[in-house]
Chains A and B, each alone.
Chain A
Amino acid sequence: MYDRIFAGALLLLSGLIAWAAAQFDVPFQYEPLGPKAFPYILSALLAVAAGWLMIRPSADDWKPTKEVVLRLGGALVLMYGYAFIYEPLGFIIATAIVGGVFSWLFGEKPIKAGVYALVMSVVSFFLLTDLLQLNVPVGTVFGG
């Protein structure tokens, strides 16, 4: 069933590719193929392959428990949130929060996880900025 849903999405995608490629406005072109041909070919191949998968899908073997789904969802929210606060709050605070929750998700006790994440983020901040001279955000709320 999963395979069928995925194949359906791919069929939709292949249609979108062909449609979008047909809209390309090509003002000049010096060669026979141009920018449209390759997307057309890919779209056709993708449609055939997805159609085949639709007809002969594999059996579903991913049966996650409720707890697993919750944890995965939690991790996704966490990573999305990390991307959201990374720039405004800066590396140190964002990493301490997100790292702490991740450590807890992987079985650490809350207080230990928090302390670990705080130490990790402060130490890595100085390693990354001073030693490797990478572009690590200080946080726009601090005027960085």
Chain B
Amino acid sequence: MEVLSALATGFSVAFTPLNLFLVLFGCFTGTLIGSLPGIGPINGVAILLPLAYSIGLPPESALILLAGVYYGAEYGGRISSILLNVPGDAGAIMTTLDGYPMSKRGEGGRALAISAVSSFAGSMGALLMMVIMAPLLSELAIRFGPTEYVMLMVFAFTCLATMVGSRPIKTLIGTLIGLVLATVGVDSGTGVLRFTMDIPNFFDGVDFLVVVIGVFAISEVLVLLEQWVNNDLKVTPVGKSFVTFADIVKVRWVILRSTVIGFFIGVLPGTGASIASAVAYGTEKRMAEGDSDEFGKGDIRGLAAPEAANNASAAGAMVPMLTLGIPGSGTTAILLGALLMFNITPGPLLFEQKPEIAWGLIASMFLGNIALLVLNLPLIGVFVRLLSIRQSYLIPVIVMLTFVGIYSIHGDSFDLFFMVILGIFGFILRKLHFSLAPVILGLVLGEVLEENLRRSLSMSGGDWSILLSGNITIGLAIASVLALVLPFLLKRIKGKGRTAQLQAELDD
């Protein structure tokens, strides 16, 4: 019952006119951003974050807006996947496999509607699991001391290294770069200036927003420019077909399974929508043994599975972010950074001390998903027409928004130069197949990790064995070792071919 009254508090926050407007606006913008080819959820959230910060929204409203953009973009990603065969981001790759063949057969409308319904069901299912799990997890997390946090972060980084990106070593290096960036600035314990190179702008640290926008948005513009070819993409017509009741009945178990898979993969630190949708698709294909010939040629099950899973993982990724302060994906890492900017430290106490933020966000996600279903069924035509916006009109707006956003934080051109330099750096990382999410995760978690490590060793008087002294820490250490070893063992058993191929697909 406690949960219900907490949820009621959340809805009273979400139903204020400003927040209601922001949910709708965020979902609409998110769908738009997600549907534009090449600009995924992470860029959308990154570009809007400084704007949300500078116009002075209260923290819960800013979070509601950004979260709306995040899961709205997970919805929107399918539109370009289905109609153009161009995924908006990695999480939407699996949607192209069966979605695009359907639209080529003239069933674009049916494909869009099925994916909207699956996305809705996936999100709602995951939200219900979130409502049940989040308080439980935060109760567990209350018992976490500094040592447990250190080991939890070690676990998070190990999961990240073995599951994300082209090679574990590159993910590890990305994380380390992020952690190094986090050490720049004045040290909170002693007041010593570290790695500031005597530049005053670095005295209170490298600005999180500048890094996020530089590494993601600016490098994205460079990538788009590199890939640009002088012809317009052909949008396949939507047609008059629509989802039938029989379709939904046929995929109901598919959606349910994929929702559970997506949610739990989302909860795991570091693994987001791309892995969730790939695993869900693979599972359904195997489940449909003997009847799986249609997969890849326009099977509605192959469309429903990844869509339910990637939306479920978006909600799942919020759980560790809110309860432990450890983000489950690159985009939630940005949301976490947003909270830190507002001087709010997510963690077990968030649900008790700031219920308006934790529960307000959850309640707004219920509203947002209903809004998204409405936006995506009758109003789909609007978004489809936006698909044909030419890049020559879109890119100048994106470049402008990144500059406006960064300049509005401190009103200092230094940040603009630094942002462009980081953009070049991000572009190089992408060309060398480093994923960018680990850099952001390292940057966001660096300070917390160091602080907890130092606190742990203060408790023990400098004895490192304290890191393996409790049941929880030992459990996390074992889990880390397993996360490190298992993927290699599985690869040995299964043979290298398929996993390597999957990794290559997920990589970009």
A contacts, CB < 8 Å to B? 2-3, 6, 10, 13, 17, 20-21, 24-35, 37-39, 42, 45-46, 49-50, 52-53, 56, 58, 62, 64, 68, 71-72, 75-76, 79-80, 82-84, 86-87, 91, 95, 98-100, 102-108, 113, 116-117, 120-121, 124, 128, 132-137
Contacts and interface: CB of A to CB of B under 8 A. Distances in A.
B407 A17 contact: no
Given A105-B225, A107-B230, A135-B54, A39 B431 contact: no
A25 B420 contact: no
A109 B458 CA distance: 65
B183 A68 contact: no
A82 B403 contact: yes
Nearest to A98: B399
B189 interface: yes
Given A49-B172, A107-B228, A35 B396 contact: no
Given A42-B183, A49-B169, A107-B392, 13 more contacts: A2-B432, A32-B457, A33-B454, A38-B454, A75-B222, A75-B225, A76-B420, A102-B396, A103-B396, A105-B225, A107-B391, A116-B393, A120-B396
27 contacts: A2-B432, A24-B194, A25-B192, A28-B190, A32-B458, A34-B189, A37-B454, A42-B179, A42-B183, A45-B176, A46-B177, A49-B173, A53-B169, A68-B226, A71-B225, A75-B222, A86-B416, A91-B404, A99-B397, A99-B400, A102-B399, A103-B392, A103-B395, A132-B51, A132-B55, A134-B408, A136-B408
Given A6-B432, A58-B166, A83-B416, A50 B222 contact: no
B413 A21 contact: no
Interface string B45-69: 0000001001100000000000000
Contacts of B183: 38-39, 42
B180 interface: yes
B462 interface: yes
B252 interface: no
Interface string B438-458: 000000000000100111011
A98 B416 CA distance: 14
A86 B337 CA distance: 27
A53 B173 contact: yes
Nearest to B460: A32
B433 to A, nearest CB: 7
Contacts of B411: 135, 137
Contacts of B392: 102-104, 106-108, 113, 116
Contacts of A76: 222, 420, 424
Interface of B: 51, 54-55, 166-167, 169-170, 172-173, 176-177, 179-180, 183, 187, 189-190, 192, 194-195, 218, 221-222, 225-226, 228, 230, 390-393, 395-397, 399-400, 403-404, 407-408, 411, 413, 416-417, 419-420, 423-424, 428, 431-433, 450, 453-455, 457-458, 461-462
Given A26-B190, A34-B190, A38-B183, A136 B395 contact: no
A102 B404 CA distance: 16
Contacts of B195: 17, 20, 39
Given A91-B404, A106-B392, A31 B454 contact: yes
B131 to A, nearest CB: 34
A86 B204 CA distance: 24
Given A24-B192, A105-B225, A107-B230, A33 B54 contact: no
A35 B194 contact: yes
B211 to A, nearest CB: 16
Given A38-B453, A106-B395, A32 B169 contact: no
A20 B198 CA distance: 12
Contact of B194 (A3, A6, A21, A33): A21
A35 B169 CA distance: 27
B420 A35 contact: no
A99 B226 contact: no
